Amino acid sequence: MKFDTLVLLATACLKLADCHRLHLNEYNENELIYDSMDSNDRVPTNLKEIWGDYWPFQGINTFAHLEHHECLIDNEKTFDVALIGVPFDTATSYRPGARFGPRSIRAASQRQTSLRGYNQRANFNPYTSWAQVVDCGDIPVTPMDNSLAFTQMTKGFEELLSNRKSTNNSKVPPRFVALGGDHSVLLPHLRALHKIYGKLNIIHFDAHLDTWAPDKYPSYWHTNQSEVNHGSMLWKAHHEGLTSHHNIHLGLRSKLSSIADYEDDDSQHFERIEADDIWIKGPQYVVDKILNTIPKDTPTYISVDVDVLDPGFTSGTGTQEPGGWLPRELLYILRQIEDLSIVGGDVVEVAPAYDIAEITATNGAQVAYELITSMVKKGPLDPSLVIGTEEQVELVSIKSKSEATKPSNLDKLEKELQDKIKELDKLKDQLNSELQQLKNMQSVFKLQ
Ligand SMILES: [Mn+2]
């Protein structure tokens, strides 16, 4: 390169730098803000307006960037629909890790904002309608003692449902979409809802029955607490009298102990939709079956175990079962049943340690969004659904009194069976301890 070309280039570079410096020298913060505002024809009134707009990947993670209320601590604030995390997973029978579900679902929900919250499947934006929708944070649950954990969860849900008020009608409590946690977190939620609404219809999306009696998990060792796990909580709910006679499972395909599992399930008043029904019999069959099973104007709970979806869409869960639903099928069905009286719901079993590229958590966040959409779109709950604790106690006692004087044949049979099971359990314990004694004696003889 010639010398004069080099000089020319150097001069040009210096001029450019000069220009740039000149531009920086002219930079004025106020001008920058007001210039751009002038061009948009508006003047900022506060700092929030200037600094409050996040891109979806920015800011602290609450669900869908919703306002965070510390709902368990603050009993003054009112709200209508809320997310509540339940980070508990020590009732899991296989892969643990769902205690990290709430935070992973929150992280995966970040592309939901009130500005982009319009649900085109529902023609509705749940975040800009009548309802105050908030993120209540988590129930602090111990990972060290399941008995204590269930007390904490039960008290937590009772506090939220019995002592918090909705904005619309002080007699109707807010509604919650719980983020699990393993599936057993449904039980404390149902206990608290039962105190408000009485018996609940359960719509249960899951690969598994979850109505298994505790003895379907055979073990010599047993406590009351060991009865409750993430495959037996619906059995427990039935035996605590929390569920109605109108319940349905959807997406079933798990291996069974035997067909007797279905007979047990029948006795707990569940209809069953198998995973294959959705493509063999079609989505309309599934929708009709739900709407024919669940009475529209009675309190209904929707529980979604993400393992209802095929493992291709839910690697991040504890008990995968091949051959599950597509996310589009689940979302479609959820939209078709939006007109039911949904008093609560959950998304459970998201275990992010096994998740690939946030796929499971993103599906979980979408399900929570669909549940919120349905709750808000339907409008405030009919106050007549609320039975209330006192009347509820009276109703239950009247009912149990009449049942005590005139027990049906079925009730008698059930009682007899339960007594027989208890008797056999005792015998089993006795035989086991005798067997142990014999073994001990045998080993002593061997030693001699
Ligand atoms: Mn489950």
What spacing in Å lies between the alpha carbon of 429 and ligand 1's midpoint? 30
How distant, in Å, are the alpha carbons of 52, 62, 414 from that of 48?
4, 18, 63
Residue 371: which of 189, 228, 98 has the closest Cα? 189
Put simply, whether the predicted model's pTM sits higher than 0.75 gets the answer yes
What spacing in Å lies between the alpha carbon of 2 and ligand 1's midpoint? 78
Strands 247-252, 133-138: parallel, antiparallel or unpaired by DSSP?
unpaired
What spacing in Å lies between the alpha carbon of 421 and ligand 1's midpoint? 26
The yes-or-no verdict on residue 382 having pLDDT over 90 is: yes
What spacing in Å lies between the alpha carbon of 198 and ligand 1's midpoint? 23
Question: What are the tokens at 226?
Answer: 């060991």
Least confident piece of the model among 20-24, 162-166, 362-366: 20-24
Residue spans per domain, the chain = 63-391, 411-447
Alpha-carbon distance of 154 to 189, in angstroms, equals 7
What spacing in Å lies between the alpha carbon of 109 and ligand 1's midpoint? 22
What spacing in Å lies between the alpha carbon of 331 and ligand 1's midpoint? 18
Over residues 148-158, the pLDDT tens digits come to 999 999 999 99
Omega within 30 of 0 (cis) for the link into 181: yes
Q: Which residues contact 24 (CB under 8 A, 6 or more apart)?
A: none
Question: What are the tokens at 290?
Answer: 């739900």
Provide the mean pLDDT of the chain. Answer: 87
Over residues 83-96, the pLDDT tens digits come to 999 999 999 999 99
What spacing in Å lies between the alpha carbon of 259 and ligand 1's midpoint? 19
Alpha-carbon distance of 261 to 68, in angstroms, equals 42
- Average pLDDT of 168-184? 95
- Under the phi-then-psi rule, with left for phi > 0, alpha for psi from -120 to 50, and beta for the rest, what region is 406? beta
**CB of 316 within 8 A of CB of 361?**
yes
Residue 133: which of 174, 74, 190 has the closest Cα? 174
The yes-or-no verdict on residue 32 having pLDDT over 70 is: no
What spacing in Å lies between the alpha carbon of 379 and ligand 1's midpoint? 29
Over residues 388-437, the pLDDT tens digits come to 754 443 333 333 333 333 445 666 676 678 778 777 877 887 887 788 78
Alpha-carbon distance of 138 to 83, in angstroms, equals 9
Q: Please state, for a pLDDT cut of 70, what percent of the chain lies above it.
A: 84
Question: What are the tokens at 139?
Answer: 């129930």
What spacing in Å lies between the alpha carbon of 304 and ligand 1's midpoint? 8
Cα diameter, the chain: 114
**CB of 273 within 8 A of CB of 292?**
no
What spacing in Å lies between the alpha carbon of 303 and ligand 1's midpoint? 9
What spacing in Å lies between the alpha carbon of 39 and ligand 1's midpoint? 55
CATH number of 63-391: 3.40.800.10
